[in-house]
Amino acid sequence: MRDYTNKYFSDCLEQIEKDNNEIFYLNDLVSEEFVFFKYFLISNFYYTATIDNYSYSIEDKNSLLEALYYQLHLITMHDLNWDALEEALNDFLDNLKEFKYICLLFQRGRKIQEVLQDELEILVGIIQTINSNFQYKRVFLVLN
Protein backbone atom coordinates (compact mmCIF):
# COMPACT_ATOMS: atom_id res chain seq x y z
CA MET A 1 0.00 0.00 0.00
CA ARG A 2 1.16 3.54 -0.71
CA ASP A 3 2.33 5.71 2.13
CA TYR A 4 0.83 9.20 1.96
CA THR A 5 2.65 10.45 5.02
CA ASN A 6 4.49 13.72 4.82
CA LYS A 7 5.52 16.32 7.41
CA TYR A 8 2.60 18.66 6.72
CA PHE A 9 0.00 15.86 6.94
CA SER A 10 1.58 14.50 10.13
CA ASP A 11 1.61 17.98 11.67
CA CYS A 12 -2.06 18.43 10.72
CA LEU A 13 -2.99 15.12 12.31
CA GLU A 14 -1.11 15.97 15.47
CA GLN A 15 -2.87 19.34 15.66
CA ILE A 16 -6.30 17.78 15.04
CA GLU A 17 -5.79 15.24 17.82
CA LYS A 18 -4.28 17.77 20.24
CA ASP A 19 -6.83 20.54 19.76
CA ASN A 20 -10.41 19.99 20.71
CA ASN A 21 -11.79 22.18 17.92
CA GLU A 22 -14.60 21.20 15.61
CA ILE A 23 -13.00 22.96 12.61
CA PHE A 24 -9.53 22.48 11.21
CA TYR A 25 -8.20 24.61 8.35
CA LEU A 26 -5.81 23.31 5.70
CA ASN A 27 -3.36 25.51 3.80
CA ASP A 28 -5.17 25.54 0.44
CA LEU A 29 -4.11 22.14 -0.84
CA VAL A 30 -4.44 21.61 -4.57
CA SER A 31 -6.82 18.91 -5.72
CA GLU A 32 -4.35 16.01 -5.79
CA GLU A 33 -2.82 16.97 -2.41
CA PHE A 34 -6.30 17.17 -0.89
CA VAL A 35 -7.07 13.63 -2.05
CA PHE A 36 -3.72 12.44 -0.67
CA PHE A 37 -4.57 14.09 2.68
CA LYS A 38 -7.86 12.19 2.68
CA TYR A 39 -5.98 8.92 1.98
CA PHE A 40 -3.53 9.77 4.75
CA LEU A 41 -6.40 10.20 7.21
CA ILE A 42 -7.99 6.93 6.12
CA SER A 43 -4.68 5.09 6.59
CA ASN A 44 -4.66 6.48 10.15
CA PHE A 45 -8.13 5.01 10.85
CA TYR A 46 -10.17 8.17 10.27
CA TYR A 47 -13.52 7.93 8.56
CA THR A 48 -13.64 10.61 5.87
CA ALA A 49 -16.26 12.00 3.55
CA THR A 50 -15.68 14.83 1.12
CA ILE A 51 -18.96 16.69 1.49
CA ASP A 52 -18.53 19.10 -1.40
CA ASN A 53 -17.59 16.28 -3.79
CA TYR A 54 -21.27 16.41 -4.65
CA SER A 55 -22.95 16.73 -8.03
CA TYR A 56 -24.56 20.07 -7.24
CA SER A 57 -23.12 23.29 -5.85
CA ILE A 58 -23.51 23.94 -2.15
CA GLU A 59 -24.98 27.41 -2.02
CA ASP A 60 -27.66 27.37 0.68
CA LYS A 61 -28.85 25.46 3.74
CA ASN A 62 -30.82 22.87 1.77
CA SER A 63 -27.97 22.06 -0.61
CA LEU A 64 -25.56 21.74 2.35
CA LEU A 65 -27.93 19.40 4.19
CA GLU A 66 -28.53 17.42 1.00
CA ALA A 67 -24.79 17.07 0.38
CA LEU A 68 -24.28 15.84 3.97
CA TYR A 69 -27.13 13.35 3.49
CA TYR A 70 -25.74 11.89 0.28
CA GLN A 71 -22.02 12.04 1.02
CA LEU A 72 -22.41 10.46 4.49
CA HIS A 73 -25.23 8.09 3.45
CA LEU A 74 -27.44 9.34 6.29
CA ILE A 75 -30.32 7.01 5.53
CA THR A 76 -32.16 7.85 8.76
CA MET A 77 -32.36 11.55 7.85
CA HIS A 78 -35.92 12.02 6.62
CA ASP A 79 -36.03 15.79 6.19
CA LEU A 80 -33.66 18.61 5.30
CA ASN A 81 -33.46 20.40 8.63
CA TRP A 82 -30.92 20.73 11.44
CA ASP A 83 -32.78 18.52 13.94
CA ALA A 84 -33.01 15.70 11.40
CA LEU A 85 -29.30 16.09 10.63
CA GLU A 86 -28.33 15.89 14.30
CA GLU A 87 -30.45 12.79 14.82
CA ALA A 88 -29.05 11.14 11.67
CA LEU A 89 -25.43 11.95 12.64
CA ASN A 90 -26.02 10.38 16.06
CA ASP A 91 -27.41 7.25 14.38
CA PHE A 92 -24.47 7.25 11.98
CA LEU A 93 -21.94 7.38 14.82
CA ASP A 94 -23.73 4.63 16.72
CA ASN A 95 -23.26 2.38 13.70
CA LEU A 96 -19.70 3.41 12.85
CA LYS A 97 -17.81 1.12 15.17
CA GLU A 98 -14.39 0.92 13.50
CA PHE A 99 -13.48 4.60 13.60
CA LYS A 100 -12.78 7.00 16.43
CA TYR A 101 -12.54 10.14 14.29
CA ILE A 102 -14.98 11.23 11.61
CA CYS A 103 -13.78 13.96 9.22
CA LEU A 104 -16.22 15.97 7.16
CA LEU A 105 -13.91 17.28 4.46
CA PHE A 106 -14.65 20.33 2.34
CA GLN A 107 -12.24 20.77 -0.54
CA ARG A 108 -13.68 24.23 -1.25
CA GLY A 109 -14.37 24.88 2.42
CA ARG A 110 -13.26 28.48 2.70
CA LYS A 111 -15.42 29.47 -0.28
CA ILE A 112 -18.38 27.65 1.21
CA GLN A 113 -17.72 29.30 4.56
CA GLU A 114 -17.86 32.72 2.89
CA VAL A 115 -21.28 31.95 1.43
CA LEU A 116 -22.73 29.86 4.26
CA GLN A 117 -21.14 31.27 7.39
CA ASP A 118 -24.34 31.04 9.46
CA GLU A 119 -25.08 27.50 8.30
CA LEU A 120 -21.55 26.30 9.09
CA GLU A 121 -21.84 27.85 12.58
CA ILE A 122 -25.04 25.86 13.13
CA LEU A 123 -23.31 22.72 11.85
CA VAL A 124 -20.39 23.31 14.23
CA GLY A 125 -22.87 23.68 17.10
CA ILE A 126 -24.46 20.35 16.19
CA ILE A 127 -21.02 18.73 16.02
CA GLN A 128 -20.14 20.16 19.45
CA THR A 129 -23.32 18.64 20.90
CA ILE A 130 -22.61 15.29 19.26
CA ASN A 131 -18.99 15.31 20.43
CA SER A 132 -20.11 15.93 24.01
CA ASN A 133 -22.46 12.93 23.77
CA PHE A 134 -19.87 10.48 22.42
CA GLN A 135 -17.04 9.80 24.82
CA TYR A 136 -14.89 7.78 22.42
CA LYS A 137 -15.66 9.38 19.04
CA ARG A 138 -15.14 12.81 17.60
CA VAL A 139 -16.52 14.55 14.52
CA PHE A 140 -14.84 17.55 12.96
CA LEU A 141 -14.81 19.64 9.82
CA VAL A 142 -11.72 20.08 7.69
CA LEU A 143 -11.90 23.14 5.47
CA ASN A 144 -9.42 23.60 2.64
Neighbours of 37 (CB within 10 A): 24
Is residue 1, in this structure, part of any structural domain at all?
no
**Type of residue numbered 3:** D
CB of 141 closer than 8 Å to CB of 124: yes
90-117 pLDDT, tens per residue? 999 988 888 889 999 999 999 999 999 9
* Number of separate domains in the chain: 1
Question: Residue 106 sits in a domain of what CATH number?
Answer: 3.30.370.10
Is residue 57, in this structure, part of any structural domain at all?
yes
Neighbours of 28 (CB within 10 A): 10
Is residue 135, in this structure, part of any structural domain at all?
yes
In 3-state terms the chain splits into helix, strand, coil percentages (rounded to 5) of 50, 15, 35
pLDDT for residue 23 is more than 90: yes
* 34/62 Cα distance (integer angstroms): 25
This model's pTM is above 0.75: yes
Domain that holds residue 87: 7-143
Is residue 33, in this structure, part of any structural domain at all?
yes
pLDDT for residue 61 is more than 90: yes
Q: Say how far residue 67 (Cα) sits from the centre of its chain.
A: 11
* 93/97 Cα distance (integer angstroms): 8
Is residue 108, in this structure, part of any structural domain at all?
yes
Is residue 2, in this structure, part of any structural domain at all?
no
